[in-house]
Amino acid sequence: MPGVVRPNHFQSSRRHVHSLLNGSTARSRRASHVVKASHGWTSATPNELAEALHAVLAQSGEAALRHFQQVTPRKKGDGTWVTDADIEAEAIILEALQRLFPGDGLISEEGGRANARAGHPTWYIDPIDGTGAFVEGLAHWGPTITLVQDGQFQVGAFLLPRLREFWFAQRGEGAWRDGVRLALPPERPTHEQSLYLPSRYHRRMPIPWRGKVRALGSSAFHLAQAAGGGADATVIPSWEPWDIGCGVLLVTEVGRIVTNLAGAVINPLSEVGQPLLAGTPSCVAHLSERLQKG
């Protein structure tokens, strides 16, 4: 589609991507029509927007599933994995978002972009958050997208194709899992609390936690769990907007908090890559104090 800049590896799958989009379900077509008729995301209701983004991520998730347990991963320059599934899923999302929101900026982890400029509404895309988990045949991975405008996350969506679980949040409107609005989870006793960490975090320092520690391979899912109550806190040592945007909205919309190590609210554009804490206020305060001491 004109206006989308892709790395060379997108071109081989372009014909297949168009066939997927042109053969989309009635639900996808209906959702796309509603959002377009509303003149973009600002006029659509949260339900309409969630349905449209669910359709987009479902298409990309189906493409990734066709590659599941059949990929040969490649290391990128930053040491993370990329697969043909990432590339195909990214192309689908880029094409679909440009149709839904023509003129909005698009910036994707694997290099695709369009209309990206400062001060412009911009969608950040991770075609598979948790590529390592995807490569290893685990279930906690999937496409996630977030919209940044006025220096803040505004909309986020995340799909787990293997679990058929969809998360959506909109700033000031709320957070949902599979269409059910999320409420503030109750706080658990210290010994029952769960902390979600990256799989190699134990190599950095001792983990100051009295409860359970889990690592499921996806920053987006760790944050979603912090919103849904499966986790009481999570630490994200390094991130890009596409990794955390949806999750940050999920956490803050249910009434929990997201901060940097010093306990201050993060800026999604100026603090990219800095450690992030999310969860209950008491858990985040405990982690902030302990981690700053090293």
Confidence of residue 7 (pLDDT cuts 50, 70, 90): very low
129 and 209 together in one domain: no
111 and 155 together in one domain: yes
Confidence of residue 12 (pLDDT cuts 50, 70, 90): very low
Domain count, the chain: 2
130 and 206 together in one domain: no
Q: What is the DSSP letter of 45?
A: -
d(CA 98, CA 140) in angstroms, rounded, equals 27
The pLDDT of 182-186, averaged and rounded, is 97
31 and 104 together in one domain: yes
146 and 218 together in one domain: no
Query: pLDDT (tens digit, 9 = 90+) per residue, 265-277?
Result: 888 778 888 999 9
58 and 98 together in one domain: yes
- CATH number, domain containing residue 217: 3.40.190.80
Q: Is residue 228 part of a domain?
A: yes
Asked if residue 93 lies in contact with residue 56, where contact means CB atoms within 8 angstroms, the answer is yes
d(CA 40, CA 102) in angstroms, rounded, equals 8
Q: Is residue 37 part of a domain?
A: yes
Picking from 279, 293, 183, the residue whose alpha carbon sits closest to that of residue 236 is 279
Confidence of residue 6 (pLDDT cuts 50, 70, 90): very low
Domain final position from 155, 181, 207: 181
Could you tell me the strand order of the sheet in which 105-108 lies?
A: 113-114, 105-108, 122-129, 142-149, 152-160, 165-170, 174-177, 180-181
128 and 229 together in one domain: no
- Residues above pLDDT 70, as percent of the chain: 86
- CATH number, domain containing residue 166: 3.30.540.10
Q: Is residue 214 part of a domain?
A: yes
Show the DSSP H helices in 23-105 as ranges: 26-37, 46-67, 84-100
201 and 267 together in one domain: yes
Q: Is residue 2 part of a domain?
A: no
Query: pLDDT (tens digit, 9 = 90+) per residue, 236-288?
Result: 999 999 999 999 999 999 999 999 999 998 887 788 889 999 999 999 999 99
Q: Is residue 24 part of a domain?
A: yes
Domain final position from 146, 181, 216: 181
The two counts, helices (H) then strands (E), for the chain are 8, 15
The pLDDT of 64-82, averaged and rounded, is 91
Q: Is residue 176 part of a domain?
A: yes
Query: pLDDT (tens digit, 9 = 90+) per residue, 103-135?
Result: 899 999 988 877 777 788 999 999 999 999 999
How does the average pLDDT of the chain come out, rounded? 88
The domain in which residue 217 lies consists of: 190-293
169 and 47 together in one domain: yes
Asked if residue 130 lies in contact with residue 158, where contact means CB atoms within 8 angstroms, the answer is no
CA 46-246-40 angle, 5° bins:
40
Domain final position from 156, 181, 206: 181
The pLDDT of 153-166, averaged and rounded, is 98
Q: Is residue 280 part of a domain?
A: yes
Query: pLDDT (tens digit, 9 = 90+) per residue, 28-61?
Result: 565 565 565 445 678 889 999 999 999 999 999 9
pTM score of the predicted model: 0.88
170 and 202 together in one domain: no
d(CA 108, CA 128) in angstroms, rounded, equals 11
253 and 209 together in one domain: yes
90 and 206 together in one domain: no
Asked if residue 195 lies in contact with residue 212, where contact means CB atoms within 8 angstroms, the answer is yes
Q: Is residue 36 part of a domain?
A: yes
